[in-house]
A and B are shown apart, each in its own frame.
Chain A
Amino acid sequence: MMVELGKYAGTVLSAYGISLALLAGIVGLSVVQARRAKRRLAAAETRRRAARTGGAA
């Protein structure tokens, strides 16, 4: 499945390359940040529960 881009091949491919890289970047960054926030919040909630249990004991 090849497409003939002619003399504008560089123009079209660079536009697609940069755009898809930017889209992949924001998707990747959002997923990484989401996982990190979820993990850090879970750890903080665990510490809070442990502190409460310890305080009650």
Chain B
Amino acid sequence: MLRAPGGFNHGAMASVWEYANPTRFIATADRLLPWVAAGAALALGVGLIWGFFFTPDDFRQGSTVKIFYLHVPSAMMAINAWAMMLVASLVWIVRRHHVSALAARAAAPVGIVFTLIALVTGAIWGQPMWGTWWAWDPRLTSFLILFLFYLGYMALWAAIDNPDTAADLTSVLCLVGSVFAVLSRYAVNFWNQGLHQGASLSLDAKENVADVFWYPALVCIAGFVLLFVALVLLRTQTEIRRRRLHALEMRERMG
């Protein structure tokens, strides 16, 4: 076990890196997965049923306000998934832990699905409210570019045979794409124009939606976060096994 000598902080950090061991990661993920998956199903079920069936219509937007419970959590997680990929990519670049590179790879398909949900629900919601499916508004455009970055990231992983080279190049792409992940979040504030409103959920009470919409939205956000964690744990296990399988098959061919 890796234990740096000295203060307790070093010991705590060393214990984090234990999960860079693929076997250790798979065993821990196996223990966590049923709980995280059950939490995700429960929070999503409660949040969506609460939001869909037991909240009133908005006085201006009518029943379309129910799209809020899918649109906002998926948009948040689209950005946060990229942030998680950025952290994992930096860990790969600095410490060369394969599990972190594989975790970043595992998160990309989940992130792109969240981005797609945000884009589609936004277009469906925008049509009756703004009178158009799409506008080249700062937030919408930066979200579309984030979607294209997800596609490019996944294509780059698939296009390169050497896994270490693929991890290096995709990590650099992830760093570059982070600019658009940040823009997706703050585009409205930067440019202060376009159709899209500012933050719906923030710590500033003046900006928030009414409590009757806010509480079920919080439960939905918890559901999306837990779903993301569950899927990343499962998919990282899969990537670790694929990597091991690839190594075994190469050895079989050589022998």
Contacts and interface: CB of A to CB of B under 8 A. Distances in A.
Contacts of B66: 5, 12, 16
Interface string B210-241: 00000000000000000100010011011001
A56 interface: no
Interface residues of B, number: 38
Contact of B241 (A1, A14, A31, A41): A41
Interface of B: 48, 52-53, 57, 62-64, 66-67, 70-71, 74, 109-110, 113, 116-117, 120-121, 124-125, 127-128, 227, 231, 234-235, 237-238, 241-242, 244-245, 248-249, 251-252, 255
Contacts of B255: 51
Contact of B52 (A11, A16, A45, A51): A16
A8 B121 contact: no
A9 B25 CA distance: 45
Interface in A3-31: 3-9, 11-12, 14-16, 18-19, 22-23, 25-27, 29-31
Given A7-B62, A8-B62, A30 B116 contact: no
Given A3-B53, A19-B120, A11 B64 contact: yes
A57 interface: no
25 contacts: A3-B53, A4-B63, A5-B63, A5-B66, A8-B63, A8-B64, A11-B127, A14-B124, A15-B67, A15-B71, A15-B125, A16-B48, A16-B66, A16-B70, A19-B117, A22-B113, A23-B113, A30-B109, A30-B238, A34-B238, A37-B238, A38-B241, A41-B241, A48-B252, A51-B252
